[in-house]
Structure 1
Amino acid sequence: MPPLPKQSDFPPSLTLTITPPDSPRSTNILILLHGLGDTPAPFASFASALHLPETSCITVQAPVPLPFDLPGFHWGDDIVFEADSLDQDPGFTRATRLIVTDLIRSTLIDKLGYRAREILLFGYAQGASVALSAALEFHRSEGSLGELGGIIAIGGVLPLSAIKEQGSRQNKSPSPVLVLGGNGAQSAVSDVGTRRTKEEFEYVDVVRWKGKREDTMPRNRDEMMPIMQFFARRLRSTSGVPEGSIELT
């Protein structure tokens, strides 16, 4: 069984917070990616509140500080202002490489021995776009072995910059996706964006919260329910499995 991840396991290119499970076993890894202009701290607190069984939560800080001494960080290759707002798709090549190569492939899989199926991504807003981009890039690099445990994307869809080739739609990623967002014009979960996500991922569920127009982190039991149901389906557990058992695949 893979060990509990420690700070010393990860390269200096990653700034992260690790929330260990209550149990001594770590069967799953949940990677949390914050939104534009945020920091990892609120998401580390959210990870602690989840109390997911046998799951180590890794909250990653975006690699680039906001300009003009503004607080917070962003995931984009650049930061572009458009009509008094920020470009929602500045390209995420650097962030995708950080998540796929430095975090998932080099550390969690090659170094610690986790399987791709045991690794899930959770992203909010810009972090959701990075999570989906990383999952798609992981599938491209790993082929039939590129199925992650799942992706939860709140207030974000697969960005157009992640689409590199027209033929990719014939080879969809098998990693299951849950997209959540508000039910109004303010939501980033647009019809065009959800359609693009479904064209690149084989299994995509979309939940629009009733009575809420904007995208936020879940604030009550009803908003959390689809997320917890997704975890219940996708998280693996060794509870009740005898020590030394071998899984047949």
Structure 2
Amino acid sequence: MRLPTQSDFAGQAVVSITSPAIGPLTHAVLLLHGIGDTIAPFTALAKNLNLPRAVVIAVQAPQPMPFDLGGFQWGDDVVFSKDPASGEEVLSPDAEFNKARLYLDNVIRNVLERKCGFMPAENVILWGYGQGAMVALDMAACKFNLCAVVSVGGWIPGFVKPRDIIDLPRSTSVLLCGGDKNSAVTNEKVRQAEQLFKECRRVKFDMNGDLMPRNKQEMAPILRFLLRILIADDLATQGLS
């Protein structure tokens, strides 16, 4: 296993790469931004995380937003849905992700696995926000047995059909995060994920809606989840796993 470089992704994907803070390289954490965003905020997040043993790769979505809105999206097309509160048509993150599946399949299989020696089920973690979180869950349900997924404000996409899902229950460890008020991550959506994945935990932030963690207290459960995976070998050696 070796550290990926920008040249590995040339012509494949737009990424930023943050090397492990300390320790031997054991995992790759892919950060997937929300709809209409770029890799810039998650590049800053990657540097602030300072994770041991993990290369953190912010991946830019493949589809530019239409109508000169700026930013990028993961959906095959933009989807609008009716806001239950206002009744207005609003941009929905719940789209079909056929193009994103191919794009991330190439990143994981051709770059991380074949070029760099990572094994998806053992070494690859996806952390997504909003639409990026939905893509992460879609990949874990329909494409790869991954090591883990951190989903902030995401759920199993509505376009996923039972025939798409393979090898139930999926072995990927999943952490579902959202606000404790007006969250789109409803109890029903959590139950759906729990039916698909062998390990599925839920975290509620003290916030209105579903934002990325804003402070150390909100970030703590995500870091505990990740560090439990990243230092699993040490814990096993000490008899603490």
Q: Where on the TM-score scale, by shorter chain, does this alignment land: which range?
A: 0.7 to 0.9
CA contact (8 A) 1:39 1:72 kept: yes
Deviations 1:209-229 (A, max 9, x none): 23x121111011221111011
Distance 2:186 2:162 in 1: 21
What 5-or-longer segments of structure 1 have no aligned partner? 140-145, 240-249
Contact conserved, 2:29 with 2:55, CA < 8 A, in 1?
A: yes
Q: List per-residue Cα deviations over 1:159-178 (Å, max 9, x = no partner).
A: 12223428x58711110000
Conserved in 2, the CA contact under 8 Å of 1:123 and 1:131?
Answer: yes
User: Is 2:188 aligned against 1:183?
Assistant: no
Residue of structure 2 equivalent to 1:247: none
Tell me the C-alpha RMSD between the 2 structures. 1.9
Contact 2:141 2:166 in 1 (8 A): no
Q: Which runs of 5+ in 2 are unaligned?
A: 82-87, 235-241
Q: 2:14, 2:60 within 8 Å by CA — same for their partners in 1? A: yes
CA–CA distance in 2 between the matches of 1:45 and 1:25?
22
Paired-residue identity, %: 38
Equivalent residues in 2 for 1:148-167, closer than 5 Å: 148-165=146-163
Task: Give a deviation string over 1:81-134, Cα, whole Å, max 9, x none.
Answer: 3343013322111112211x2111111112211122111110000000001111
TM-score (norm 1): 0.85
* Matching of residue 8 in structure 1 with residue 13 in structure 2: no
* Matched ranges for 1:133-172 at <5 A: 133-139=138-144, 146=145, 148-165=146-163, 168=165, 171-172=168-169
Residue 237 of structure 1: how far off its partner (Å): 7.2
Q: Indicate yes or no: 2:42 matched with 1:43.
A: yes
For the 8 Å contact 1:25–1:54, the answer to whether it is kept is yes
Secondary structure of 1:174 counterpart? strand
Q: 1:205 aligns with which of 201, 208, 217?
A: 201
The Cα shift of 1:24 comes to: 7.5
The separation in 2 between residues aligned to 1:237 and 1:195, in whole angstroms, is 27
* Higher strand proportion (structure 1 or 2): 2
Distance 1:227 1:6 in 2: 26
Look up the match of 1:246: none
Whether 2:87 is the aligned partner of 1:88: answer: no
- In structure 1, the residue matched to 2:119 is 115
Retained in 1: the 8 A contact 2:35–2:93? Answer: no
Query: Does the residue aligned with 2:170 lie in a helix, a strand or coil?
Result: coil
**Aligned AA for 2:155?**
V
Picking from 226, 230, 236, the partner of 1:231 is: 226
1:182/1:208 contact within 8 Å kept: yes
Contact 1:96 1:137 in 2 (8 A): no
Instruction: Tell me which residue corresponds to 1:192.
Output: 188
**In structure 2, how many angstroms separate the alpha carbons of the residues matched to 1:232 and 1:88?**
29
Structure 1 residues 238, 195: closer, same or farther in 2, change over 3 A? closer
| SS at structure 2 position matched to 1:37 | coil
SS in 1 for 2:143: helix
TM-score after normalising by structure 2? 0.88
